[in-house]
Amino acid sequence: MIKELDTIVLSHDVEAYGLKQGDIGAVVHVYKGGAAYEVEFVTGEGETVAVLTLAAQDIRLMNEYEILHVRELVTV
| pLDDT single digits (tens) 63-72 | 999 999 999 9
pLDDT, residue 74, reads 81
What are the tens digits of pLDDT across the range 27-63?
A: 999 999 899 999 999 999 999 999 999 999 999 999 9
CB 4, CB 40: distance < 8 Å: no
User: Are 4 and 30 spatial neighbours (Cβ–Cβ below 8 Å)?
Assistant: yes
- What is the percent of the chain with per-residue pLDDT over 90, rounded to a whole number? 91
The beta strands (E) that lie in 5-63 are given as 7-10, 24-31, 36-42, 48-54, 59-61
Cβ(26)–Cβ(50) below 8 Å: no
pTM of the entire structure?
Answer: 0.92
